[in-house]
Structure 1
């Protein structure tokens, strides 16, 4: 039963394709789409298209002919033409305007159902109204497709401005499927609604970029503290075409240190002799009253005290002349700290004993000669300025901040 209905439907469709339809008819035109002449064909007739190529020129002829001529159209050497540009469809056919839009059903000029097709019966069997592309050509009225409108593109809009202000960019234009807009199951427009093309502007400005830093230069001094420098240039790239210059400094500076400089330290020295108060007592400072040398005025011969003017290494010497059999202990007092103790006056004759020390003294500290222990009586003696007690000192090396810094590094 289904085979019967299917056969009947195919026969009806076949019959429909030989009934009245429309074809474009034009001779020797450059573009088939430029043909607008329409001729109505009858039963047993089909549309055809023919292309004539001569050298590099190409012309087209569109028309209508009897079906018996399909494949051997009179006066043409190539009657049935298969053209790749039209989806490889054969031109000789019985569809409306098929030689203009191959393999596409176009809406008839009048909304009438095909008299050779029982639309109600075919729809009941095959639900033809759901196949809009077929139904609008066979049963448009039955399927209520008389108001169907296939969409068509409107004109392109103006090109937009370039999307960049310099160098190469993109321009865009748009079109809408509104000429007319699809309605009542009509086809949407085929193709893109957006088109683009490249645009070129003036070259962009080039902003400058810093190069890598150079190596550090040599220190600006050969001793103590100095400066070293390194440089960079605005050349990666160079600014051009009104581009910005590099921001920041092109020179970098850092502190550098080398060996300490050798400086001439101030010279301090003194020597004094003759103790006027010869009476001894424990922890008593010996006051040497007669100066033979006092460079820097560092020794006070009224108190017997040396005050260090700078921090440094000093050499101190002293001579103690005593009567026999006394045996007193003497030493240097450095801020109350006793250094280089000796015992003097314990031999069997008058004698002078010497003591010395090399020590570090801070600026402002006091140094003196003291009788430390077993000190009593009138024990000191002198002989015609040839044997006399004395006290002397001298600066050997002065400490500076640089010296201290160097010592810490070591």
Structure 2
């Protein structure tokens, strides 16, 4: 700069300084934060059954907590921000869940509520969260009501809808056993009723004749033995278990005790070798059918799959006291990976509005725990997350796909 005067050099120096300051200001302005987010942190809340009749599903939350902890320690969180995960116990009681969610939003000021368990619980909290414009993402509930972006744009499920799942089974029955005498054991709430409705819709005008008995139970009931006896006495030869893991295991045990062998379908959320079939007995569980959409780590067909091999190593290092063969843990990790994907998409715009926008615009995301054919695509008009299903039968050791 020897050719410039002292005044010119001073001016150029000031201009450079001002340019640097403007650039820095512009860079800072690009980052946008809302409640629960900052340059160092993203707060994520959850209410789930860590105790009570659905406590087996609390393992979802345990796995998610472990995954976020690992993500913070090994990768610095997401885009340089640590995940603070607050998972509260609701014991599968709707009033407690509502109380938990209000505390998460109003006291903890979370950015997102994530992975809540149960159709009735999520139905109860979604009006509040939607009104507050807090994303309710990837919930462990399959009601078709959770894909209603016109009325609830801040709500998004995860698994295939309960209605579509049951209609999927109905289509198979109509094709392979059109003279079936169908019996249904269902949980007496929005969860069980949605499955039953989907089955009836799938059977169409044949539903009234084919469904010869439908027996309900409360989630808090100690057993479902009497309902199973009624179903057997109705000469049911195709049985649907629209229940969670505990009651499904009880039903499979009672079915064996009654020396009763109907074709049996199980709600996909309960189709866990570790949580349902092992407690019931693998021999008693052989032949059970369900809609598959994910890899069960305890299934021999996936033993050489890269993500399953990674999973067992990861579990040994990060959850050493847990039974890694229980697919509740791998399911929890897959949920957490999906949220990680959305938060990465959100970049430095971590307002609740933008997080929801990103969740509503997922393109061809292949979650590693889903079946190889499965892809996640969402739009602002369609919040269905997992739509690919494949019928599968448990052979006493693992799953075999059914044509």
Q: Fold match, TM over 0.5?
A: no
TM-score range, shorter chain: under 0.3
Which structure's residues are more often helix, by fraction?
2
Which structure carries more relative contact order (alpha carbon 8 Å, separation 6+)?
2
Which structure's residues are more often strand, by fraction?
1
- Determine which structure has more spread, i.e. the larger CA radius of gyration: 1
